[in-house]
Amino acid sequence: MEKKENIILIGAGGHAKAVIDVIETEGRFNIYGLIDLKENVGKKVLGYEIIGTDEDLPKLFNEVKNAIITIGHIYNVEPRIKLYNLLKEIGYNLPVIISPYAYVSKYAKIGEGTVVMHHAAVNASAIIGSNCIINTKALVEHDAIIGDHCHISTGAVINGGVKVGNYSFIGSNAVTKQYIEIPEKSFIKAGSLVK
């Protein structure tokens, strides 16, 4: 059996639990540990230890080359951007993580460090940027373009040809009309109909 590569998870809250579940189900990586705040070091999340803080990332790079950002993005995307830039600077590989229970068309493109959660669907010719969360049961339709550092929340529907600007948050069960443009740094509330 092929030895799995190790991966470090950056963030140890609720979103990290959901990503752990996806990584375990996908079966490509072995979770080496999590990075979080100093006061949480030594604690465990779903059996995986919090092994350090952001300051330990350069040192950990000697042992582990893969990392994924597992802090959520609701009101503030800045921590995810800062971590992404830090990981890139150190030289970490940020793999795309896709749940085997998601559907991603072979004609879609997904940027590094993006996680596609259980039962999400990404259809033909959709393009998703780097460091995005395509959350549980989200739908990204054909020809949609999702910018970098976006969170498409649980059950949200991005219809065909929609462009979502960088750093945007689309709330749970929000629905967009097809072929519209959503500007950068947009915050779309849960349940919204975006025309």
Which amino acid is present at 38? K
List residues bridging with 116 in a β-sheet. 98, 134
Contact 97, 112 (CB under 8 A): no
**C-alpha span between 2 and 9 (Å, rounded):** 22
Give the CATH number of domain 5-90: 3.40.50.20
Q: How many CA atoms lie within 13 A of 170 on its CB side?
A: 36
pLDDT in tens, 21-67: 999 999 999 999 999 999 999 999 999 999 999 999 999 999 999 99
Give pLDDT, residue 35.
98
How many CB atoms are closer than 10 A to CB 29? 19
Q: How confident is the model at residue 3 (pLDDT cuts 50, 70, 90)?
A: confident
What is the Cα–Cα distance from 186 to 165, expressed in whole angstroms? 7
Say if residue 1's pLDDT is above 70: no
How many Å apart are CA 153 and CA 72, to the nearest integer?
10
179 pLDDT exceeds 70? yes
What residue ranges do the domains of the chain occupy? Answer: 5-90, 96-195
Side-chain-side CA neighbours of residue 66 (13 Å):
17
Task: Return d(Cα 170, Cα 90) in angstroms, integer.
Answer: 30
Residue whose structure tokens are 């970098």: 148
Please state, in angstroms and as integers, the Cα–Cα distance from residue 159 to each residue in 149, 154, 155, 188, following that order. Answer: 19, 15, 12, 15
5-90 and 96-195 have identical folds:
no
Tell me which of 52-56, 59-63, 75-79, 101-105 is least confident: 75-79
CATH number of 96-195: 2.160.10.10
pLDDT at position 74: 82
Residues 87/61, Cβ–Cβ less than 8 Å: no
